[in-house]
Chains A and B, each alone.
Chain A
Amino acid sequence: MIILVERKKGISKKEIEHVAWLARIEISKNELELFSKQLNDILAYFAKIDKVDTENIPPSYHVLDLVNVFRKDDVKPSLPEEIFQIAPQTKEKFVKAPRMA
């Protein structure tokens, strides 16, 4: 078994900003400062798993031996019109979206 030396892995502030943008979360300067420390602490802890030899071990994406479940392609009523009442901005029977950049 190869035991890797525990190295300090981390995420830079620039990377945090980039990943937050990928996840579409705007973060403030204060949050960036706060998250930078917290996320690096967490990632340093996650590095614990480096030690485990997982060569030739298959991943368990799921705990049950599931097979795909199909249903008949029958026509059924859609959601009621009231769902427009929970949309923050609407116009007639449409949900209003912001403009694309």
Chain B
Amino acid sequence: MSRYIELPAYEIVDRIKAHELMAEDYIASLYERIKRIEKDVHAYITLTEDLAIKKAREIDKKIEKGEKTGRLCGVGIAIKDNICTKGVRTTCASHMLEKFIPPYNATVVKSIEDEDGIILGKANMDEFAMGSSTEHSYFGPTHNPWDLKRVPGGSSGGSAATIASSMATLALGSDTGGSIRCPASFCSVVGLKPTYGLVSRFGLIAYANSLEQIGPITKDVRDCALLLSCIASHDPLDSTSVNKPQEDYTNYLIDDINGIKIGVIREFFGEGTQDSVEKGVWDAILKLEGLGANYQEISLKNLHYALPSYYIIAMSEASSNLARYDGLRYGYRIPDKSYDWSTVYSKDRRFGFGFEVKRRIILGTFALSAGYYNEYYLKAQKIRTLIKKDFEMAFKRFDVLIGPTMPILPFRIGEKVQDPLEMYMCDVDTVPANLVGMPSISIPCGFSMGLPIGLQMMAPPFKEDLLLRVAFSFQRNYPTLARLRNYE
């Protein structure tokens, strides 16, 4: 049975629908895998085994009766723990929300359940999605399945680790400045940040609303297209959700990139990029050229300012968003009842939030405060305009833009966590996509010293079809560059 859990979702769906595989057996063997290696990897915060087995039995009954089943029929899915699941605790990896049980489902969770997907549990992450290593979790770090002493990337590190180690077949993450693509790169899996507004954010616990999107983390590009097709739809509950017709993205999985124009972003190979990463990504670019694409290098002059601008905007939005955690209606409340309102409020937040969350709230409050607003927040939003224009110009010449996802290989647990600024620097190549709102995908493009390297591609807003086509062609022709961790 364990050979099934290594399969991508579309093969699982086919087998279940064809009566070749019982959903219950497959789900049970996923939990067997979880029981075997979760103690080493720690990818989950909460497991929902009883619910999942019950749902699997329901699906097996549906199949037996010949009833219609959804596109994710029986597939086991890990959900990042900042996405609300009705009746299942959703912690955001924070002490503040340790006991929070949402009274509603996020729209993406409803979509998955409507398509007969099965939720296996809630995946570990950096607290409130603030981090690039999953070390900032109240519940302890996730370990990279490729090297347990190293980080899986973040903030959706749990989600990516479940896919790399086949503790789930599909996963959802969220990406505010790279939080899907970074762990996808570090774990050798596929991660897509969709165009801003393509996927509903209703039920995603907010960190920085103008930047973040929910997206798929999967074993391969076909699964990525499948999961995206299920979650991308207009939602009246999210006022930033775009009203466009639903698409089946699997239609764009075409093995043909002849004549596609690729721009290689020179700034993405700047200071701080490891040689092994640079080499791995260039090898991939030459492979794409071999498949018929044309590439040219391009320089985007305002890209140097993307990282500080991103952090100023993200922290400012965070300081406003996280003001809601007062410990009254839900969340952590200090037991002592003798204090006044403001003291209770500030103690709830002292003990409820971890260091990184506090740092970002304090800096965000500072950047928005009178006398500093123009210098930080407003200035960063203006630079955002300049960066957006740089990309608009670039997309007049190129279909997709390309570079490394992460400038470095997965680093050791503990290596950067004491120095926040050094941690922020890891996001240098991923934040532009969030500032501009464009879609961006990370796909595996090989290994160096046994550690995965990720190739990042960006396209103009709502051109997910192009990204998926190029990514699919690459994987179809070089299938061995993406591997799952072998546990047999």
Contact = CB atoms under 8 A, between A and B. Distances in A.
A50 to B, nearest CB: 8
Given A46-B308, A89-B333, A19 B383 contact: no
Nearest to A58: B385
A16 B369 CA distance: 12
B339 A98 contact: yes
B340 A98 contact: yes
Interface in A63-99: 63-64, 66, 68-69, 71, 79-80, 82-83, 85-89, 95, 97-99
Nearest to A100: B341
B359 interface: yes
Contact of B346 (A25, A35, A42): A25
Interface string B381-409: 11111101000000000000000000000
Contact of B362 (A19, A59, A82, A89): A19
Nearest to B240: A66
B411 interface: no
A86 B103 contact: yes
Contacts of A98: 337, 339-341, 343-345
Nearest to B366: A19
B362 A24 contact: no
Contacts of A83: 103, 329-330
A8 to B, nearest CB: 14
Among A15, A61, A68, the one with the most B-chain Cβ atoms within 10 Å of its Cβ is A61
B73 interface: no
B294 interface: no
Interface stretch (B283-291, B347-355, B463-471, B477-485): B347-355
Interface in A6-29: 11, 15-16, 19-28
Given A25-B353, A35-B359, A88 B332 contact: yes
Interface string B138-163: 00000000000000000000000000
B93 interface: no
Interface string B274-318: 000000000000000000000000000010110011011000000
B272 interface: no
B379 A25 contact: no
Nearest to B301: A52
A88 B327 contact: yes
B210 interface: yes
A11 B376 CA distance: 13
B383 A42 contact: no
A101 B101 contact: no
Nearest to A51: B305
Contact of A24 (B103, B104, B342): B342
Contacts of B420: 38, 41-42
A54 B389 CA distance: 13
Nearest to B344: A98
Contacts of A66: 239-240
A87 B312 contact: no
Interface of B: 99-101, 103-104, 196-197, 210, 236, 239-240, 242, 302, 304-305, 308-309, 311-312, 319, 323, 326-333, 337, 339-347, 349-350, 353, 355, 358-359, 361-363, 365-366, 369, 375-376, 378-386, 388, 419-421, 424, 435-437, 461
24 contacts: A11-B366, A19-B362, A23-B319, A24-B323, A24-B342, A27-B350, A27-B358, A31-B355, A39-B362, A42-B424, A45-B424, A52-B305, A52-B379, A52-B382, A59-B384, A60-B384, A60-B388, A62-B240, A64-B196, A69-B239, A86-B99, A86-B330, A89-B328, A98-B339
Q: Which 8 A-B pairs have the closest CB atoms?
A: A63-B437, A59-B381, A88-B333, A54-B382, A101-B340, A26-B350, A26-B346, A98-B344
Given A35-B362, A60-B385, A88-B333, 5 more contacts: A21-B346, A24-B345, A61-B381, A83-B330, A86-B99
